[in-house]
């Protein structure tokens, strides 16, 4: 593993004037998730946002890539405003990969609905061997949060450990109140409907209603925060047995909807941390 080189993003120069002073950090070890297959390799031509880029393959073709298992703050899209820290995250990814050779690794689906490659990504050293784990480094630096999709494979325990380290040290986006971990209080969460949040709290009760599983975080399921698992997805939680989580402190992440009270749908266990 290469020695540490520090990453420093100067907001005023990097974002306002476009002249970034950036030094890279190389602490994210190669991932250890099983069953990943080696995909394409090439040179990063341009960075789109904090979790996607375009690479040039050996035959000159371009391939758009989305980093799997993480989510960086979104840049402005159509009528939607940019999320806080979006430009810093984009500049951070550019500092890590722009102009460098990278190697893709696949687990599960290899393309999303937009035709982008969905991959774990390593930069490559001078011998073409995997070097820096890009997802791990982004999360460690507070430039992205952990966010997996059903069927994706990644070293989730390592990613969550990197995220905890960044959060404890208020690195990057974790220094912005917009990304604070939410409590499962229904009234404040109701203000966060249609937004992506991380909620931490104690499961007060669970229920199986015609095959659909609910984790409740208050006495009244009609108004309090709830996590729901559709019947078709319960098989993915066999190792966790969510109905047994009464009294457990957990952390969940996803988009908040208003169904009775605030609710997050969860389709795989990668978005659930059992803390105690």
- Map tokens 């999709």 to a residue: 149
- Residue 233, number of CB atoms within 10 A of its CB: 17
Ranges of each domain in the chain: 11-177, 181-274
Binned average pLDDT, 10 residues per bin, the chain of 276 residues: 36 30 45 75 97 97 97 87 95 97 91 93 89 96 95 89 97 96 94 94 97 95 94 95 97 95 95 93
pLDDT of residue 182: 97
pLDDT at 115: 93
**What's residue 126's pLDDT?**
84
What CA–CA distances, in Å, run from 171 to 6, 118, 148, 162, 199? Answer: 13, 26, 21, 11, 19
What is the structure's pLDDT at 108?
81
| Domain covering 181-274, topology | OB fold (Dihydrolipoamide Acetyltransferase, E2P) (2.40.50)
Q: Largest Cα–Cα distance in the chain? A: 60
Residue appearing with tokens 């950090």: 25
Q: What is the pLDDT of residue 13?
A: 29
pLDDT of 76: 86
Q: What pTM, to 2 d.p., does this model score?
A: 0.85
pLDDT of residue 154: 87
Q: What angle do CA 64, 126, 10 make, to 5 degrees?
A: 65
Task: Provide the CA 258 distance to its chain's centre, in angstroms.
Answer: 23
Q: Would you put residue 172 in left (φ > 0), alpha (ψ -120 to 50) or beta? A: left
Domain 11-177 annotated CATH 3.40.50.970:
no
What is the rounded distance in angstroms from the CA atom of residue 108 to the CA atom of residue 134? 19
| Fold match flag (11-177 vs 181-274) | yes
Question: 145-146 and 62-67 as β-strands: parallel, antiparallel, unpaired?
Answer: unpaired
Q: What angle do CA 168, 185, 229 make, to 5 degrees?
A: 90
Predicted local confidence at residue 80, as pLDDT? 82
């Amino acid at each position: 593993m290469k020695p540490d080189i520090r990453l420093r993003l100067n907001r005023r120069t990097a974002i306002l004037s476009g002249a970034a002073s950036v030094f890279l950090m190389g602490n994210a070890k190669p991932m250890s998730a099983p069953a990943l297959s080696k995909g394409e390799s090439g040179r990063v031509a341009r960075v789109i946002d904090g979790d996607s880029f375009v690479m040039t393959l050996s035959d000159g073709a371009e391939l758009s890539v989305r980093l799997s298992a993480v989510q960086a703050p979104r840049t402005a899209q159509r009528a939607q405003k940019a999320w806080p820290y979006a430009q810093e995250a984009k500049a951070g990814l550019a500092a890590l990969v722009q102009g460098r050779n990278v190697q893709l690794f696949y687990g599960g689906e290899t393309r999303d609905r937009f035709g982008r490659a969905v991959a774990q990504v390593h930069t490559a050293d001078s011998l073409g061997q995997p070097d820096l784990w890009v997802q791990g480094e982004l999360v460690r630096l507070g430039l992205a949060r952990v966010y997996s999709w059903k069927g994706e494979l990644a070293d989730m325990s390592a990613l969550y450990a990197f995220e905890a380290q960044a959060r404890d040290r208020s690195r990057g986006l974790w220094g912005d109140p917009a990304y604070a971990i939410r409590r499962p209080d229904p009234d404040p969460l109701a203000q966060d409907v249609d937004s992506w949040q991380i909620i931490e709290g104690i499961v007060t009760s669970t229920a199986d209603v015609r095959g659909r599983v609910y984790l409740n975080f208050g006495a009244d399921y009609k108004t309090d925060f709830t996590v729901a698992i559709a019947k078709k997805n319960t098989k993915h939680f066999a190792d966790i047995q969510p109905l047994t989580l009464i009294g457990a402190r957990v952390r969940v992440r996803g988009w908040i909807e208003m169904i009775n009270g605030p609710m997050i749908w969860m389709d795989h266990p990668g978005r659930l941390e059992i803390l105690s």
